[in-house]
Amino acid sequence: MPGQIDESSQLPAPVPPLPAISVIIPVYNASDYIAGALESVFSQTFSGFEAILVNDGSEDRDRLQQVLTPYRSRMIYLEQENRGPSAARNRAIQQARGEWLAFLDSDDLWLPSYLEQQMNFMRGDPGLDMVFCDAVLESDSIPTGKTFMQVCPSEGPVTFDSILVERTQVLTSGTVVRRKLVEAAGLFDEAIRCSEDHDLWLRIAHQGARISYQRQALLRRRLRPDSQGTSLGLLAGEVQSLTKLDRVLQLCPQSRQLLHARLRQMQARLALVEGKKFLLAGRLEQARDSFGRSQALAPTMKLRAMLLGLQIAPGLAARAARFWHNLTLHPVPKA
């Protein structure tokens, strides 16, 4: 009738169901890899998820936009200036609606049953808060014949202490964790750009989370020479993380002792790597200082000999170091 209101037109639109899992994908200069990662996400046998991708100020933005075009309608896309992987993941977590978070780096690929197998594993023990799995390691998309857990073993129960000393080693792209625990732990530390994931797992474990792992290789882990994480950066990030955790966490005497020992070990390794870098660059005074710090923290006969050589014949020691470095990079073929 004229003037009559059609009540059906006033009904609110149906609210879509909440996803069980929010897939978190930070991207930085990965336009050559991201399509493969996204294909692996949207090929999952488990369907109750949302995908959130954060472009962390990529320098290849135009190329990235082209690659992402076929996937934009199936995911939440966010952009920000470059602030590092911690900030990118945090931005996605703040948008996430799932009970669980599943992290995927832009150059890794899940097998089609990844999410289903991870959720089935946790259903077998409803008290679990976090699970991680194994991965096949690849170089230039060619399997290396090894898995992540063969190179970085996980043995025994997962605790704060086991993560600290790397008796259990968590692969971020193989991790599913309760969102509320990540939020309660304070999210990723945006001041840390390398080893930021290790820092978060330690804080989550310290809160008493129940963490386990399965030995199925459910993803392909790409080893890239241009990855953001260099040995120097990873060591510096872990030193930064452990120094902070020593200050802010209330630890039992045993854990505190382990943390101090680990911090000393990482400081020694960092000084050693810095010393090698200075030596190869011909910056002999800085090399001596770095090697001296490493020797004071973790003395070795080899390092003592290097320091003696830099004191008696610095030029000869530097040339010998460069020769050895080039030899290890380009070994002479056997006859």
- Tens of pLDDT, residues 209-232: 999 999 999 999 998 665 555 688
Contacts of 178 (CB under 8 A, 6+ apart): 99, 100, 101, 129, 130, 209
pLDDT at 118 over 70: yes
Question: Are 288 and 310 spatial neighbours (Cβ–Cβ below 8 Å)?
Answer: yes
CATH number at residue 143: 3.90.550.10
User: Of 148, 160, 167, 166, which Cα lies nearest the Cα of 211?
Assistant: 160
Report the sign of the C-alpha dihedral through residues 106, 111, 117, 119, in that order: positive
Residues 30 and 147 grouped into a single domain:
yes
In a domain, 28, yes or no: yes
pLDDT in tens, 35-71: 999 999 999 999 999 999 999 999 999 999 999 999 9
What pLDDT is attached to residue 13? 65
The verdict on 257 and 162 lying in the same domain is no
Residue 302: strand, helix, or coil: helix
pLDDT cut 70: percent of the chain above it: 87
pLDDT at 146 over 70: yes
Residue 131 and residue 121 in contact, taking contact as beta carbons nearer than 8 Å: yes
Q: Residue 88: in which H helix or E strand, if any?
A: helix 85-95
Residue 130 sits in the same domain as residue 273: no
Same domain, residue pair 203 and 147? yes
Answer yes or no: do 272 and 205 share one domain: no
State the pairing for strand pair 21-27/109-110: unpaired
Confidence of residue 150 (pLDDT cuts 50, 70, 90): very high
211-223 and 130-139 beta bridge pairing = parallel
pLDDT band at 139 (very low <50, low <70, confident <90, very high): confident
pLDDT mean over 154-181: 97
CA 163 to CA 151: how far, in whole Å? 15
Q: Grade residue 314 by pLDDT with cuts at 50, 70 and 90.
A: confident
C-alpha distance from residue 294 to each of 26, 41, 303 (Å): 35, 44, 8
pLDDT at 4: 57
pLDDT at residue 208, rounded to an integer: 96
Final residue belonging to a domain, choices 232, 266, 287: 232
pLDDT at 253: 98
Output the pLDDT for position 327: 38
The answer to whether residue 328 scores a pLDDT higher than 70 is no
Q: 210 and 71 in one domain?
A: yes
Domain count, the chain: 2
Q: Is the predicted pLDDT of residue 318 greater than 80, yes or no?
A: no
Whether the per-residue pLDDT at 109 is higher than 70: the answer is yes
Residue 27's nearest CA partner among 77, 97, 74, 71 is: 77
pLDDT of residue 231: 85
35 assigned to some structural domain = yes
- Flag whether 112 is in a domain: yes
Range 277-301 average pLDDT: 89
Interatomic CA distance for residues 250 and 195, integer angstroms: 21
297: containing domain? 251-328
